[in-house]
Structure 1
Amino acid sequence: MQRNGSGVVFLNIFHGDIESFISSKKPNSDDKIRLATLSTGIILPDIFFELMRRDKDIVLFSSYDIYKEYGKRMSEISITEMYYELLDNPNIRKLKRLNARKLYTEIKKAQFESGYPFEIFDDNVNNAHPLKEIGRVKMSNLCTEILQYQQTSIVTDQNEPNEYGLDVSCNLGSIDIHEATKVQDFGQLVDTAMRLLTNVSTMTDIVNVPSVSKANKVMHSVGLGVMNLHGHLVQSGIRYGSEESIEFIDAFMEALNYYSLKASMEIAKEKNETFYRFEESDYASGVYFESYINKGEKELAPEVIKALGATPIITQNMWRQLKSDVLEHGLFHSYRLAIAPTGSISYIRSCTASISPVTERVEVRDYADSRTIYPMPFLTNDNEELYTEAYDVNPYELIDLYAAAQKHVDQGISMTLYVTDQWNTEQLAKAYIYAWTRGIKTVYYVRQRLLTIEECVACQI
């Protein structure tokens, strides 16, 4: 069994074609530009939000001129750092001026209509990138959780050898949070998961895509994620989006990060091998560990400690020792953590998807000529109120929860925003801007719930 492949294209908001690109997913757009099956995403540098805050125009640049002038593609430079230099450079054509606020409003309109484009907050991604000295992250995958350095291949003429760069293979797996909190040796669980994903990476050889094959061989990238957060919170008597839920995911993801690093260090020690250019990374310099070593240790709420179960609370001394071990032995994996949407596998596992809230307490799904009725895990008459549906969750609390998890994830988290048709573009823009200020790296779909006919009639009356 296999499913059809899907593709996504990301474009910087300062690119000359951005207006047509935004319109390409609208249901009523011209057939000549409409992308019926291809997904779209935009890359938003900090400078865009700064210009929008000041209600200024932005300038769209010629990406060809940037490559001709600097020898780098638009995706390979920091627009935030180079914006004013590009403005002052007479060799870079300025194709158009657009008001930043009006442009972002058009993006919000498109997201209401189609759910697209996805968004990547460029500087949030690259400022936190542990391999920033090696290169920039310039795009993501379809579900926006993969954020890795890629090296462009040089495809030459027929009689000359190609120079293959580095591209991404999604070697993903997810841990059931509820079951993980019951495992007595949490570190062993994570170590086993990391080794299984490592096997996938080292055994995969996609010969038809040499750049992916090469990256698997030298980068050893994996993406260990989690699922069943909402289910576990309900079972623990904690409301999704509450302060206790945020404390829980913060502590749980810190433990997952710690033990995934430890596993990667142990594998590097056993194999006597580190990932490509490890010595240039924030891991090798020790910079990555500083925020953990200098963190303030606070007492967790009793509900949080109970919900963590057997999951260890990671101390400053544990981080100090791990830093020392990594400096001595290195890491085998260039990337370790990424939280995917986990829609289908969550149903198979009787889990709630990813770290997102459920969209319905009881889902009805139709496939071809069959119907599946799926009540959420642990659902009872006594706890149904804790299963707040995604469209009723405070979006700012949802963002705060994702931000707490994102601190510990070296790649990204697939985050969907849930709105109703009572929202307007200003409300949606504010939620996105808040996500940017909280360090969120990417936003996946905007999902909109429409009013029912009955509700509409009631409103009219």
Structure 2
Amino acid sequence: FMERVEEDGMWSLMCPHQCEGLHSCHGQEFRELYERYESEGRFVRQVRARDLWSAILDAQIETGTPYLLYKDAANAKSNQKNLGTIQSSNLCTEIIQYTDEHEVAVCNLASICLPKFVISDRGPVGSISPASGKGHFDHEALHKATKIVTRNLNKVIDVNSYPVDGAKTSNRRHRPIGLGVSGLADAFLRLGLPFTSKEAKELNEAIFETIYHAALEASAELAETHGPYDTFDGSPASQGKLQFNLWGFDDDETPSRRRRLAVPKQRYAAPYSEGGYDWESLRQRIKTSGLRNSLLLAPMPTASTSQILGVNECFEPFSSNLYLRRVKAGEFIMANPHLLQDLTERGLWTPDVRNQLMRDGGSVANIECIPKRLKELYKTVWEIKMKDVIDMAADRGKFVDQSQSLNLFIADPTPEKLTAMHFYSWKKGLKTGMYYLRTKPAVNAIQYTVENADQP
């Protein structure tokens, strides 16, 4: 479909009862079957692909949906490809699992709070001033925590209650789990890294390499004790093909390998072992003993858990430096705690600054007294290019064997902007092109501020 849109071709609308099998194939097989049905005239009608594309974009601008997932990418990069064609995802677009008339896919999810692994060079995590960047990321602790979470989720599969037999059958045959993260933006701030800086991009990629390596290692250890999951044979992993191999990368292109060759050493992107992760030894271990779980990573939205932990959602940038917190006592306007700490330390958390922050919808970009360094550090998602957000999704994507709940943000969307963004995501190889499209209202509500008591 994307190719037809790009070349301004026609798209044939077909009835699944008249043109059987399209939903259960992908890639070249889908292309050949689809074009055969077209040549036989079995379509209901034809429309310009760009007209259908325009209708999709109009709906996204008005409602934030429909979600976009790319079927070929999702199937080509799946460790469940030996089971058959994956036909759908879940509500949050991060679960990419096989289903059929006998099996119902199951989400077995847990998220890891990334700011907990930022270590201050001066003491406890809370002592770090975000703008100072006096800290480092503890990949060793993250690796250990990930292995614990992997074992816990694997146990959940065995002890859980299942409402339907199809879910029990699927979960116990394939044993998929989904690890995600919360507070990536908080971790960057604790280290003094602007969200789209080179160092932040390196850390983003390295974090997910660490999680993927640890999850694979734990699953391989479980397989050595309990045996591999039932459908391991024939999977890409059984042939030594890991997720980044399915993206077309080899071991030399992982962050830990680049880290081994890099001079000087990088304190943000370096996985904890000095020589980087030994992917080849792990690959051979998996080929010999198998994996206990078919799938391991599925970064989810964490809308609720991030609130409980007091961090920003999943891997997203902050959408504002001000937000509304509703509790039993009422509604309260809260500030980004990292920004609050930095401004307080500099004597800049004044009524004037608070009022302007409220007037500007949580942006520090136009507050003159705030240093340029802090303005870079506290950019909101509305001030960040979506190209960078998509690039970072692709960077971690080679370690994500399911998919990721990728929201995209455009304050004033147009069909032209959305088309450019979606085609960029598609060509980067993302499985999920977009979860929700977040936009700003055409007319902003009146911004109320609190004036100083001594002002006339």
TM-score w.r.t. length of structure 1:
0.78
State the match for 2:151 in structure 1: 195
Q: 1:95 aligns with which of 24, 38, 44?
A: 44
- Deviations along 1:132-175, whole A, 9 cap, x unmatched? 1221221111110001111x22xxxxxxxxxxx22222111111
CA change 1:304–1:167 in 2 (3 A) is farther
Q: Is the 8 A contact 2:199 2:269 kept in 1?
A: no
SS of match in other structure, 1:186: helix
- Alpha-carbon distance, 1:340 to partner: 0.4
- Alpha-carbon distance, 1:259 to partner: 0.9
State the match for 2:379 in structure 1: 388
Distance 1:400 1:199 in 2: 34
State the match for 1:285 in structure 2: 239
Return the letter of the residue paired with 1:111: Q
**What's the RMSD between the two structures over aligned residues?**
2.6
Distance 1:66 1:303 in 2: 59
- Alpha-carbon distance, 1:84 to partner: 4.5
Return the letter of the residue paired with 2:75: N
Q: 1:149 aligns with which of 98, 101, 105?
A: 98
State the match for 1:216 in structure 2: 171
Is 2:24 the partner of 1:76?
yes
SS of match in other structure, 1:257: helix
State the match for 1:240 in structure 2: 195
- Alpha-carbon distance, 1:121 to partner: 0.8
CA change 1:114–1:301 in 2 (3 A) is farther
Q: Is the 8 A contact 1:247 1:304 kept in 2?
A: no
State the match for 1:338 in structure 2: 298
- Alpha-carbon distance, 1:365 to partner: 3.7
Return the letter of the residue paired with 1:280: G
Return the letter of the residue paired with 2:191: S
- Alpha-carbon distance, 1:294 to partner: 4.4
Q: 2:268 aligns with which of 307, 314, 328?
A: 307
Distance 1:393 1:303 in 2: 29
State the match for 2:204 in structure 1: 249
- Alpha-carbon distance, 1:195 to partner: 1.1
Is 2:369 the partner of 1:408?
no
State the match for 1:429 in structure 2: 419
Distance 1:348 1:91 in 2: 57
- Alpha-carbon distance, 1:110 to partner: 0.5
Distance 1:312 1:226 in 2: 22
- Alpha-carbon distance, 1:243 to partner: 2.6
**Range with bigger deviation, 127-136 or 276-285:** 127-136
State the match for 2:130 in structure 1: none
Is 2:138 the partner of 1:178?
no
CA change 1:341–1:218 in 2 (3 A) is same
Q: Is the 8 A contact 1:231 1:376 kept in 2?
A: no
Return the letter of the residue paired with 2:149: A
Distance 1:400 1:335 in 2: 23
Return the letter of the residue paired with 1:315: G
**Range with bigger deviation, 242-251 or 301-310:** 301-310
State the match for 2:370 in structure 1: none
Q: 1:267 aligns with which of 222, 227, 232?
A: 222
Which runs of 5 or more residues in structure 2 are unaligned?
118-136, 347-373, 448-456
CA change 1:177–1:314 in 2 (3 A) is farther
- Alpha-carbon distance, 1:367 to partner: 6.6
Return the letter of the residue paired with 2:115: H
- Deviations along 1:233-265, whole A, 9 cap, x unmatched? 112121112332221111111111111100000
- Alpha-carbon distance, 1:91 to partner: 6.4
- Alpha-carbon distance, 1:201 to partner: 1.7
Equivalent pairs counted in the alignment come to 388
State the match for 1:42 in structure 2: none
Higher alpha-carbon Rg: 2
SS of match in other structure, 1:278: coil
